[in-house]
Amino acid sequence: MYGTTPVLDLPRFEVAQGERWLVLGLSGSGKTTLLHILGGLLRPTQGTVVVADQDLGALREDALDRFRGRHIGIVFQENHLLPTLTVEQNLLLAPYLAGLPQDRARVREVLRHLDLEDRAGAFPDELSTGQRQRVGIARAVMNRPRLLLADEPTSSLDDVRSARVLDLLFREAEAIGATLIVTTHDRRVQERFERRIELAPPVSA
């Protein structure tokens, strides 16, 4: 829990544009909290977060929402696509909510990239788990964010799938020149990242 007791106390660290970082830690160590703070979903009780030269703490709520929508893409473990919208509509939601022009060509491009071209008109519950996750990645990269965050993207996958998802994340991040930060407790993936932060296990349970 965050709030009065700090769960996470990190020294200053800097990630250069385009780098790939892994945040490694056991569950409860604050990985998700860190990711939320980096993504501007949560404000740190102390300290500052600077993303793409913008101090997130200096932004008011609405401006922070907009900044996040435009410059930060987040891939969640459960990729909660909106169940009432088709794949294409889910992807168009990203530019719409971020106040960017809704570029259908970009939707096709992203879907082609993720091998989902023929599923544009499908609803989320008509997709396989793997397809849903790919749509989740597609949505995160729709607006060509500067920072791509992924929370436990491989935890529930077998070795083959986990490798494939990482491949996709690397490829997409590279395609748009985004910095990639992935959190995981999954040690299988650590050798693929050149840099990592290891979070200490929770102080007490």
* Residues of the shown chain interacting with other proteins in the complex, contacts defined by CB under 8 A: 32-33, 36, 39, 41-42, 61-62, 65-66, 68-70, 74, 76, 78, 80, 82-85, 89, 92-94, 96-99, 102, 139
Give least dist CB 91 to other proteins, A: 9
CB of 79 to other proteins, least distance (A): 9
Q: Where are the alpha helices (DSSP H) in the chain?
A: 31-38, 61-71, 87-98, 104-113, 129-141, 159-176
C-alpha to C-alpha distance for 140 and 179, rounded to whole angstroms: 13
Closest to other proteins by CB, 152 or 165: 152
Residue placing its CB nearer to other proteins in the complex, 39 or 153 = 39
| C-alpha–C-alpha distance, residues 130 and 119, integer Å | 12
Least distance from other proteins to the Cβ atom of residue 138, Å: 12
Helix 104-113 to helix 129-141 angle, to the nearest 10 degrees?
130
Q: Using an 8 Å Cβ cutoff, are 201 and 34 in contact?
A: no
98 or 116: whose CB is closer to other proteins?
A: 98
Distance from C-alpha of 135 to C-alpha of 124, rounded to nearest angstrom: 9
Which residue's CB is nearer to other proteins, number 20 or number 31? 31
Whole-number minimum distance, CB 119 to other proteins, in Å?
17
DSSP state of 199: P
